A and B are shown apart, each in its own frame.
With several copies, the nearest count.
Chain A
Amino acid sequence: SVEKLIFEKGAPGRRATNMPALDVPMEELDELLPSKMLRSEPAPLPEVSEIEVVRHYTHLSQRNFGVDSGFYPLGSCTMKYNPKINEDMAGLPGFGHIHPLQPDTTVQGAIQLVYELERYLAEISGMVRVTLQPSAGAHGELTGLMLIKAYHQSRNEGSRNLVLIPDNAHGTNPASATLADYKVVEVKTNPQTGGVDLEHLHTLLEKHGPSVAAIMLTNPNTLGLFDSNILEVARQIHEVGGQLYYDGANANAVMGITRPGDMGFDVVHFNLHKTCSTPHGGGGPGAGPIGVKSHLVPFLPGPLPAKHGDGTYSWEDAGPQSIGKVRANKGNFGVLVRAYTYIRSNGPDGLRSVSESAILNANYVKHGLAEEYEIAYPLICQHEFVATARRQKQEAGVTATDIAKRLLDFGMYAPTTYFPLIVPEALMIEPTETETRETLDEFIQVMKQIAEETRTTPEVVKTAPHTTVIGRLDQALAARKPNLRWEPGQEVTHA
């Protein structure tokens, strides 16, 4: 089915909300502004009534699937349950309706929250200080690399221009390195362990050592595997004067068990919208705080929250070595309130139980699928693992995409597909800790059924989904002839 665009609805003169009445003297616009500065044509926004707005966006919501709708095993995205109390707390007038430039004396609760959250995240990651400014994981990556750059420059090692990144890394890692004006050098994965190929690393460091600014790693990595050699990696990098950057996308596996700081990392980012349960909102907002060891503290962006002897809080400017601001205002505050609420809800034992349960659930699903699906690295995994459709592709031409689409027919979202890039036909599965055993069993059951269908009725899988509001969409057409906005006269087409 098709829902018309809001622009195709309504009629001239209709409106939903009224503006408040004018309670000051009426003056003509051109008495207030030179006429050349005035808009000549009104913006052609929709003209719709309130009931039309409500039904339209209600219908759109009904055409969308969230964690509240069902299982969402999207690997690397940590689609855990988003507690409703978090939303309520972020919406309190004292948090939701305050201005970023209010005097500190009028926002003591807000600064306190930021101050305490910073300390909690430092403890969880084993870091010394944390900045809550970055807006998302990739923004955190870039910020972290800027800190590393400023650090090297401060030591007159500004010539270090290489960043090492494993071949299974998140795509944002090399992109962030490039944006920080670094050259990327790829580190191979050891095909046995799934971890960093130590020999390859050694070779690279021998060759590039003095030019190496940093290595960017996740641990557990995107294969869901914990790299047991992490201390050796850290030793080697530090030996050549490089820094270790920890991509926190997979931090849901380590809380209370191990800490990036204890593994030897110098910088770490968090994805609060993953690890700390803040909702993904269809693609954002997120928050990507950065934690650092003490040698990097002077370079942090400002302002930073401070607590004083009398129990009051204030914002303090960063020091002279600070890299400067990475965004306006003080970080994604609404997201921070949610993360704070989550951490206080769980406490130390709760957070460890989160990670343990995430690991258990992932291994349970892996175990359940292993008979029918090839597992990329059949080892103990942590919070996620990578299955593949290699067997299904070979035997019946059924791809990872086909399997993903078929899952949708069963009221489940699909795993991440074709990532990491080093695994063909990858199905990257992260159940998270908030799923019940019954849901995991149901997913395993459905995946087995799809494997069976692949053998018996492969067309059903190849032409899936069948029960969704719309079938597979023509991605090639979208890219070849991009249509990125509605224009008057354009109408949606209906079956």
Chain B
Amino acid sequence: MSYVPNTPEEQQEMLASMGLSSIEDLLAPVPEDVRLGHPLDLPPALAEPDLRRLVSRMAARNKSLDTTISFLGAGTYDHAIPSVVPHLQRRSEFVTSYTPYQPEVSQGILQATYEFQTMVCQITGLDIANASLYDGATAMVEAVFIALGPGGRGEVVISQGVDPQYRRVLQTYAFARGFTIKEVATENGVTSLEELDAAVTPSTAAVIIQQPNFLGCVEDAHAIEAIAHKGKGIFITTITEPASLGVLASPGEYGADIAVGELMSFGNAMSYGAPALGFMAAKQKFMRLLPGRLVGQTVEEGGKKQTGYVLTLQTREQHIRRERATSNICTNQSLLAIGATIYMAAIGKQGFRELGELCLRKAHYAFRQITAVPGFEPVFQSPFFDEFVVRSPIPASRLERHLAQADIIGGYSLAESYPELENCILFCVTETRTREEIDTLVAALKEVQA
């Protein structure tokens, strides 16, 4: 199946109209000694129906969350997607357009992005937001770059409550740019205030926490803010579960300078974890330091002065700040941002709050039911939102196999990232898990004991 419309005959006519006889004439600049002398070693072309069959079969080899009961969260959350979201997000005028370099024919993407920026401010309680970033982890790195400033050296303090994947990404970038990372341990599931206080010094460029943190626990953000702002460093909060903002104090309320994180779960397919939707919101003073694209409101030139939207404070590839760059971000996640925008419009003010409440209540129901099963013990006493840690009486891998037999994907086994938490499972319960499903899990856990 080819998507080249012109037939060989037409191509021949086009060549002839230029006085050429063969496509070879146009390949002349490619020296013989770099030419590929044989066809690429790839499987042969497939017609669409054969292709559909092949790829559908591969997809069928995956266990979709539609056909299993999953309690996985750990950075990627299953929130119901209202039908309107894909119907609108997938309109081809959005999907097949590019970065809105010509605003006059791109007002749709631009206005939707402006609305996205506004909604990110509304849920985070901060002043400004950008048009999106690759994912939560790289968004966190970008926030660190802001903190470090040009040159990019200095010291960053990060809680071990932050998603281990995010911390590993930060380490990679630290290697490249040459900054220093200090990790602060957790205690009873939350960042140790004592250790944090010891770690933050006048040379600390940034303090980073995650809220709720990777262990599901809600940090005492107000207390952390006080410590983080002891010096001149900025306070960065990472949010991987945006549903939490429906009930938890917003970064703006507890004084974060920059909030970053992940909004993929708002209206976008989970898609094995990506494409994701990193976001960044900040206090007003960081406006000219925000990486990635920004959409601004303006008016028409000349007489009519209608309101319109443009990319502004631009760092697009043609005039990116090149050698003076503090970020190389060009592509953003526009289409996912539109999905999240439509999602937030659809659930609205009331629904956003209810979403948080549902997750909170269902998770606490599950926590109580699970920890009532003999042998399954709570690990932390700190408050939590929609994830919590339970210690399994049997090895985590055995538990995984046991639950798989009941078509359940249990929680995330923490030992790989937190060796001290052997056989500890992080369960996630969002609004998409029903009581019946939770009870099914509990019943399966009871069998473990039997």
Report chain B residues within 8 Å CB of A184.
322-323
Give the CA-CA distance A437 to B16 in the complex, in Å: 13
Asked whether, in the complex, the Cβ of A478 is within 8 Å of the Cβ of B296, the reply is yes
Report chain A residues within 8 Å CB of B82.
16-17
Q: Mark A320-349, 1 if CB is under 8 A from B, else 0.
A: 000111111111111101001101111111
Question: What are 12 A-B interface contacts by the 8 Å CB criterion?
Answer: A45-B123, A60-B111, A82-B96, A100-B274, A112-B61, A281-B95, A283-B335, A328-B165, A357-B4, A357-B11, A469-B105, A469-B107
Most buried by B among A66, A343, A486: A66
Question: Does A46 have its Cβ within 8 Å of any Cβ on chain B?
Answer: yes
Stretch at the interface among A238-246, A391-399, A411-419, A453-461: A411-419
Contact partner of A57 among B78, B88, B360, CB < 8 A?
Answer: B88
Question: Does B308 have its Cβ within 8 Å of any Cβ on chain A?
Answer: yes
Asked whether, in the complex, the Cβ of B275 is within 8 Å of the Cβ of A49, the reply is no
| Top-5 shortest CB links A-B | A100-B273, A281-B335, A347-B45, A64-B108, A94-B59
Asked whether, in the complex, the Cβ of B94 is within 8 Å of the Cβ of A64, the reply is yes
Question: Does B299 have its Cβ within 8 Å of any Cβ on chain A?
Answer: yes
Give the CA-CA distance A83 to B84 in the complex, in Å: 8
Contact partner of B122 among A45, A48, A334, CB < 8 A?
Answer: A45
Give the CA-CA distance A315 to B312 in the complex, in Å: 41
Asked whether, in the complex, the Cβ of B78 is within 8 Å of the Cβ of A64, the reply is no
Given A37-B218, A98-B270, A405-B102, list of 11 further CB < 8 A pairs?
A: A20-B50, A26-B361, A32-B383, A39-B246, A47-B349, A89-B59, A99-B270, A171-B317, A258-B36, A285-B336, A286-B331
Distance to closest chain B CB from A128 (angstroms)? 14
Asked whether, in the complex, the Cβ of A284 is within 8 Å of the Cβ of B23, the reply is no
Asked whether, in the complex, the Cβ of B360 is within 8 Å of the Cβ of A257, the reply is no
Most buried by B among A20, A39, A56: A20
Report chain B residues within 8 Å CB of A67.
96-97
Report chain A residues within 8 Å CB of B186.
none
Question: Does B345 have its Cβ within 8 Å of any Cβ on chain A?
Answer: yes
Asked whether, in the complex, the Cβ of B50 is within 8 Å of the Cβ of A21, the reply is yes
Q: Mark A165-176, 1 if CB is under 8 A from B, else 0.
A: 000001110111
Report chain B residues within 8 Å CB of A408.
102, 104-105
Docked complex: B304-319 residues within 8 A CB-CB of A = 304-310, 312-314, 316-319
Contact partner of A15 among B301, B305, B321, B350, CB < 8 A?
Answer: B350
Distance to closest chain B CB from A459 (angstroms)? 12
Question: Does B230 have its Cβ within 8 Å of any Cβ on chain A?
Answer: no
Docked complex: A93-126 residues within 8 A CB-CB of B = 93-103, 105-110, 112-113, 120, 123-124, 126
Give the secondary structure class of A's interface: loop
Contact partner of A66 among B47, B96, B327, CB < 8 A?
Answer: B96
Distance to closest chain A CB from B141 (angstroms)? 9
Q: Mark A253-285, 1 if CB is under 8 A from B, else 0.
A: 011111100110000000001000101111111
Distance to closest chain B CB from A311 (angstroms)? 11
Docked complex: B264-323 residues within 8 A CB-CB of A = 269-276, 287, 293-302, 304-310, 312-314, 316-323
Question: Does B372 have its Cβ within 8 Å of any Cβ on chain A?
Answer: no
Contact partner of A350 among B45, B132, B274, B306, CB < 8 A?
Answer: B45
Most buried by A among B10, B84, B94, B331: B331
Report chain B residues within 8 Å CB of A178.
322-325, 328
Report chain B residues within 8 Å CB of A82.
95-96
Contact partner of B60 among A38, A94, A360, CB < 8 A?
Answer: A94
Asked whether, in the complex, the Cβ of B409 is within 8 Å of the Cβ of A97, the reply is no
Distance to closest chain A CB from B11 (angstroms)? 6
Question: Does B112 have its Cβ within 8 Å of any Cβ on chain A?
Answer: yes
Given contacts A17-B1, A138-B331, A471-B304, contact A98 B64 (CB under 8 A): yes
Report chain A residues within 8 Å CB of B134.
135-136, 139, 285, 327
Asked whether, in the complex, the Cβ of B346 is within 8 Å of the Cβ of A17, the reply is yes
Closest to B8 in A: A13
Given contacts A472-B301, A495-B304, contact A328 B75 (CB under 8 A): yes
Asked whether, in the complex, the Cβ of A473 is within 8 Å of the Cβ of B5, the reply is no
Give the CA-CA distance A65 to B92 in the complex, in Å: 9
Report chain A residues within 8 Å CB of B355.
19
Asked whether, in the complex, the Cβ of A32 is within 8 Å of the Cβ of B360, the reply is yes
Give the CA-CA distance A5 to B120 in the complex, in Å: 15
Docked complex: B50-75 residues within 8 A CB-CB of A = 50-52, 54-68, 70, 72, 74-75
Asked whether, in the complex, the Cβ of B107 is within 8 Å of the Cβ of A64, the reply is yes
Docked complex: A37-64 residues within 8 A CB-CB of B = 37-54, 56-58, 60-64
Asked whether, in the complex, the Cβ of B287 is within 8 Å of the Cβ of A482, the reply is yes
Report chain A residues within 8 Å CB of B100.
282-283
Most buried by A among B64, B165, B345: B345
Asked whether, in the complex, the Cβ of A478 is within 8 Å of the Cβ of B297, the reply is yes
Give the CA-CA distance A276 to B249 in the complex, in Å: 42
Closest to B324 in A: A178
Question: Does B101 have its Cβ within 8 Å of any Cβ on chain A?
Answer: yes
Distance to closest chain B CB from A260 (angstroms)? 9
Given contacts A99-B72, A285-B336, A495-B306, contact A87 B98 (CB under 8 A): no
Question: Does B362 have its Cβ within 8 Å of any Cβ on chain A?
Answer: yes
Asked whether, in the complex, the Cβ of B176 is within 8 Å of the Cβ of A146, the reply is yes
Asked whether, in the complex, the Cβ of A263 is within 8 Å of the Cβ of B34, the reply is yes
Give the CA-CA distance A475 to B163 in the complex, in Å: 39
Distance to closest chain A CB from B10 (angstroms)? 6
Report chain B residues within 8 Å CB of A371.
none
Question: Does B169 have its Cβ within 8 Å of any Cβ on chain A?
Answer: yes
Given contacts A325-B165, A357-B4, A416-B101, contact A108 B61 (CB under 8 A): yes
Asked whether, in the complex, the Cβ of A483 is within 8 Å of the Cβ of B104, the reply is no
Asked whether, in the complex, the Cβ of A226 is within 8 Å of the Cβ of B52, the reply is no
Asked whether, in the complex, the Cβ of B327 is within 8 Å of the Cβ of A175, the reply is yes
Distance to closest chain A CB from B326 (angstroms)? 8
Contact partner of B274 among A7, A34, A259, A333, CB < 8 A?
Answer: A333
Asked whether, in the complex, the Cβ of A94 is within 8 Å of the Cβ of B358, the reply is no
Report chain B residues within 8 Å CB of A105.
404
Contact partner of A285 among B136, B306, B335, CB < 8 A?
Answer: B335
Question: Does A434 have its Cβ within 8 Å of any Cβ on chain B?
Answer: yes
Report chain B residues within 8 Å CB of A13.
7, 9-10, 350
Asked whether, in the complex, the Cβ of A484 is within 8 Å of the Cβ of B299, the reply is no
Asked whether, in the complex, the Cβ of B1 is within 8 Å of the Cβ of A345, the reply is yes
Docked complex: B23-51 residues within 8 A CB-CB of A = 23, 25-31, 33-36, 39-51
Asked whether, in the complex, the Cβ of B132 is within 8 Å of the Cβ of A284, the reply is yes
Asked whether, in the complex, the Cβ of B135 is within 8 Å of the Cβ of A171, the reply is no
Contact partner of B331 among A79, A285, A330, A367, CB < 8 A?
Answer: A285
Give the CA-CA distance A89 to B56 in the complex, in Å: 7
Distance to closest chain B CB from A170 (angstroms)? 5
Question: Does A187 have its Cβ within 8 Å of any Cβ on chain B?
Answer: no
